[in-house]
A and B are shown apart, each in its own frame.
Chain A
Amino acid sequence: MIKKFDKKDEESGSGSNPFQHLEKSAVLQEARIFNETPINPRRCLHILTKIIYLLNQGEHFGTMEATEAFFAMTRLFQSNDQTLRRMCYLTIKEMANISEDVIIVTSSLTKDMTGKEDVYRGPAIRALCRITDTTMLQAIERYMKQAIVDKVPSVSSSALVSSLHMVKMSYDVVKRWVNEAQEAASSDNIMVQYHALGLLYHLRKNDRLAVSKMLNKFTKSGLKSPFAYCMLIRIASKLLEETEAGHDSPLFDFIESCLRNKHEMVVYEAASAIVHMPNCTARELAPAVSVLQLFCSSPKAALRYAAVRTLNKVAMKHPSAVTACNLDLENLITDSNRSIATLAITTLLKTGSESSVDRLMKQISSFVSEISDEFKVVVVQAISALCQKYPRKHSVMMNFLSNMLRDDGGFEYKRAIVDCIISIIEENPESKETGLAHLCEFIEDCEHTVLATKILHLLGKEGPRTPSPSKYIRFIFNRVVLESEAVRAAAVSALAKFGAQNDDLLPSVLVLMQRCMMDSDDEVRDRATFYMNVLQQKQKALNAAYIFNGLSVSVPGLEKSLHQYTLEPTEKPFDMKSVPLANTPITEQKTEFAPVATSKLPEKPGPTRQDIYQEQLAAIPEFQGLGSLFKTSEAVQLTEAETEYVVRCVKHTFARHMVFQFDCTNTLNDQLLQKVMVQMEPSEAYEVLHYVPAANLPYSQPGSCYSLVKLPEDDPTAVSCTFSCTLKYLVKDCDPNTGEPDDDGYDDEYVLEDLEVTVADHIQKVLKPNFAAAWDEVGDDFEKEETFALASVRTLDEAVGNIISFLGMQPCERSDKVPENKNSHILFLAGVFRGGHDVLVRSRLALADGVTMQVTVRSSDETVVDIILASVG
């Protein structure tokens, strides 16, 4: 019975697996042999091995059968065969969760743990702790304490590591072993030292002072274990981050000194810690970067990988710090490990010059199909960042991206590419047609609904304005035939936009619409029917309102208003103008999409800032009946930053009123302010109706008071006004420590800076995706035009910026960006004036000595046009 396996098995070739055809039931049957006397160690060992192998392969054991096998196994403790005993410990650990009553082996394990055989003691401790719960832990506490300080390293290590595992379960008990752990930390054995340090930190991590003391002690005395050094570096950098200590702290010095450690592991850990610290200066980074540079030429792939990955990270924030390593990185782009090569190239793309781009891109394309999706995303992100840096390279990039789009890859990867192409199209008008063509080709075979709908939307927006829109129709209609409901619906919307904008395509679009009206999905049918009817009217205004420029109201606001409407039965039709407008998405976000992974979380349509204010104001009885909040402006500071009282004002505009919200903070710890209000003196016919004071304003707790102002009704053109403001309040001195105020107080006042109301406060920004259509929709009934000379402005950029901030309107068609080296520019602005009138401004700018500006204003209301022109002048 010496041979473990049948001869037959062996002859069938070395490729066969002796465990291949194991049957769980047969093995359990065999396990009965455990009960035979005398015990046959070899056979028992073989069966135990089979059980562990089966468990490892994921075989499911029922509680009954597991318990039975477990109990049979306990008999094997009678044998003194070493390997068999060790396999019993493994079985105990493997079965701890599936068998019942595993605690039955406690006494056997305790015996082994305290016995003479050192080979058994460590493993026995680990097995015992695996099956011990909080109540039983008290019983073995004495043994554990002894084991932690045992002179045999394997015993001490096992006890320390097992204690660490049990901290989660019984923190209070393990905490009492801190002195023993402390003693173990000064052991000569490197692993014991490491494990003791780990346990000590875990027990003390919530006590910053204790951690700091511990660090101090170990960094001074020095450790032998490189693992322990890595741990110390991590603890030190965490503490640095938490305490926001400067880089002159001894902890930083310690980390830096580790750059000179003899173990590469420690050196790398230290370099990585420095690189990941926030606000590191280039000078502080330099030593870390230079050790990473050395690692780049290491024969060990893991070290090269670690180094280049960390350098890549540095390059995101401090590209110049990595420039010194460019030569070493160049050598890595042919590395046989593609991950290393990719990271090297993407790092070079960040640090290199425009001239090297072509060469690097060529290099990447040679192996892009071999690397994993994670790295492909890294490559796409690098390209995206590059496109923003060197817009002229877009044709190279576009080509490369389209090739990548054709390869296989997961959703994340495809999404990164599509986002990147879209951003190129938006930045470079000349790349639009090629970009759209690539995207069209992509949706022909795209399994991701999200991407397909996104691209269809883009096609609908950009396609009709290209020189030959008809070529996109085929791609879009194919989607209607082949795809899921969501994609079909998006395709119908895109088709409608083509029909609305291109008269010669209209008949064919109508035919296609007709077919979509037979669709099996009701959303698709509804959309088709709706667009069909709108298109048949052939009225530009209708097209603009219902096809190009969708709803501009905030969706949560609309939901609330509609709900309100259904609650109050009324004869009046629902008025869209009563719904608060959506705050336009901030286009700036696009530029932030640089090296970081694409948006982390699914964007939630949470309440906007304005929705929150609306709720707050609605809760104040004085402000009921003002209607819905039209616009909330950005806060204006009415005091210097470091004064006794800090006051800032937020202006809320309603249809006929304005509410001024003053957020006040009292920075004096020996004063309590009461009945705080801001008195306002208007310069024009504005009438202050009501003040809502803040009852109490204790030290450093912000409070708000409000003023309600009625806008002049008889003179609608009086849109601007200056208010002189004074803060009035009752002061009570108080004890700085307890905050207990005196009984008596005295009235006092504090002069604030003047508050301006301008035309921008009356206009809400609205983005019109298709400005030309909106322009036609409003029509020229009330069009007015005037020319101004802006003498003080020197560049077109400055002029555009000034106009936008002055009028507070939304720039459309990306007209806020002035192309380089141009002498003239047209700016399109859109907004809604208080009361719900659309306002559109077209402003032609020409640069001569100063800037000459011709402003054309259109609106559905004549007064509004006059107001705008008057305020510009």
Chain B
Amino acid sequence: MTAQTCPRQHQRTTMEIASLEPSLYTVKAVFILDNDGNRLLSKYYDTELYPSMKEQKNFEKNVFNKTHKADNEIAFVEGMTIVYKCSIDLFFYVVGSAQENELMLMAVLNCLFESLSQILRKDVERRCLLDNIDGVFLVVDEIIDGGVILESDPQQVIQKVNYRLDGSEQAYGFDLFDYIIGNIDGQTDRRQCA
């Protein structure tokens, strides 16, 4: 590290807890990385946190390096509380400030993971996620809006997104079948059984 980066590092390394300003803005960032640490999806809600793309990617890399070896659920990096979860070749991260209630962040992470594992039919791995990245974008959009927790119940999220899984012929078979018998509403349930 060069001397220039010190002042920033300086602010970040203190674990001092200032009093919390009551606010709905809970989540600072969310991102999903693959097992090489590449970004698949990421959203930063606090524009002051890492304003440039370069800083964001550096942060993601730093977080990845500190977390990918062990599935420890929670870490503290660059002055931020980070809760995370890995699944096969994917890493899910939710970032909050050092003062944030860790359990609220966990609620967001769990909701994100549960919702995705439902729409991806438990097949939470990189390829499947990328094939359905549009659905993933929509799920994230339903869970967090501009840093505010919009929904924390995975069932509600699935219902709101109402996403059709792609890349599976079988599903279209059902769609067609449903369409023929006029059972549009039953789609989601049917697919979950399959």
Which residues of A approach B to under 8 Å, CB–CB? 2-5, 14-19, 45, 48-49, 52-53, 56-58, 82-83, 86-87, 90, 93, 119, 122-123, 126, 154, 157-158, 161-162, 164-165, 191, 194-195, 198-199, 201-202, 205, 227, 230-231, 234-235, 237-238, 241, 264-265, 268-269, 272, 276, 300-303, 305-306, 309, 313, 336-339, 372-375, 377-378, 410-413, 448-450, 596-597, 600
Contacts and interface: CB of A to CB of B under 8 A. Distances in A.
Nearest to A273: B20
A87 B138 contact: yes
A238 B19 contact: yes
B177 to A, nearest CB: 16
Nearest to A413: B13
Given A194-B24, A302-B74, A372 B66 contact: yes
B77 A235 contact: no
A162 to B, nearest CB: 8
Contacts of A375: 76
A306 B103 contact: yes
Contacts of A122: 160
Given A158-B150, A195-B24, A231-B22, A52 B137 contact: yes
A301 B22 contact: no
B131 A4 contact: yes
B158 to A, nearest CB: 12
B52 to A, nearest CB: 9
Contacts of B150: 157-158, 161, 191
Nearest to B125: A14
Interface string B38-55: 110111000000000100
Interface in B1-56: 1, 3, 6, 9-10, 12-17, 19-24, 34, 38-39, 41-43, 53, 56
Interface string B126-156: 1100110111011001000110111110001
Contacts of A14: 125-127
B75 A227 contact: no
Contacts of A372: 66, 75-77
B1 A374 contact: no
A411 B138 contact: no
Contacts of A337: 70, 72-74
Interface of B: 1, 3, 6, 9-10, 12-17, 19-24, 34, 38-39, 41-43, 53, 56-57, 66, 70, 72-79, 83, 101-107, 125-127, 130-131, 133-135, 137-138, 141, 145-146, 148-152, 156, 160-164, 166-167, 169, 172
A339 B72 contact: yes
A448 B169 CA distance: 61
Given A49-B134, A82-B162, A191-B152, A305 B74 contact: yes
B3 A198 contact: no
B130 A412 contact: no
Given A19-B130, A58-B56, A119-B162, A597 B14 contact: yes
A230 to B, nearest CB: 6
Contacts of A191: 149-152
Contact of A374 (B13, B21, B74, B105): B13
A449 B3 contact: yes
A227 B19 contact: no
B23 A198 contact: yes
7 contacts: A83-B163, A86-B138, A93-B141, A227-B152, A302-B102, A374-B13, A374-B79
Contact of B22 (A87, A235, A268, A306): A235
A83 B160 CA distance: 11
Given A234-B22, A302-B106, A87 B134 contact: yes
A227 B143 CA distance: 14
Nearest to B35: A15
Contacts of B73: 300-302, 305, 337
Given A158-B150, A164-B24, A234-B20, A378 B103 contact: no
A265 B110 CA distance: 14
A56 B166 contact: no
A411 B3 contact: yes
B107 A265 contact: yes
Given A191-B152, A241-B19, A90 B141 contact: yes
Contacts of A339: 72, 74-76
Given A336-B70, A378-B15, A411-B6, A19 B137 contact: no
Contacts of A162: 145
A230 B77 CA distance: 24
B53 A4 contact: no
Nearest to A19: B130
A5 B6 CA distance: 46
A547 B67 CA distance: 51
A315 to B, nearest CB: 13
A606 to B, nearest CB: 19
A272 B9 contact: no
B22 A596 contact: no
Contacts of A205: 22
A477 B39 CA distance: 48
A48 B152 CA distance: 27
A276 B19 contact: yes
Nearest to B127: A14
Given A161-B24, A302-B105, 7 more contacts: A18-B130, A19-B130, A58-B56, A161-B145, A164-B24, A337-B72, A374-B76
B128 to A, nearest CB: 9
A448 B48 CA distance: 28
Contacts of B79: 374
A833 B41 CA distance: 71
B168 to A, nearest CB: 10
Contacts of B22: 201, 205, 231, 234-235, 238
Nearest to B43: A56
Given A161-B148, A231-B24, A412 B141 contact: no
A158 B17 CA distance: 31
B16 A597 contact: yes
B141 A123 contact: yes
Which among B17, B73, B161 has the highest number of chain A CB atoms within 10 Å?
Answer: B73
Nearest to A602: B7
Contact of A264 (B15, B24, B75, B103): B103
A139 to B, nearest CB: 22
**Lowest 8 A-B CB distances belong to which pairs?**
A198-B24, A301-B73, A58-B53, A234-B22, A597-B14, A265-B103, A337-B72, A306-B102
Contact of B101 (A126, A161, A272): A272
Contact of A158 (B21, B39, B138, B145): B145
Contact of A412 (B13, B135, B145, B152): B13
Contacts of B15: 309, 374, 377-378, 597
A237 B152 CA distance: 25
A531 B46 CA distance: 54
Contact of A57 (B39, B126, B127): B39
Contacts of A58: 53, 56-57
A86 B53 CA distance: 26
Contacts of B3: 411, 448-450
B176 to A, nearest CB: 11
A861 B112 CA distance: 81
Nearest to B18: A276
Nearest to B56: A58
A374 B77 contact: yes
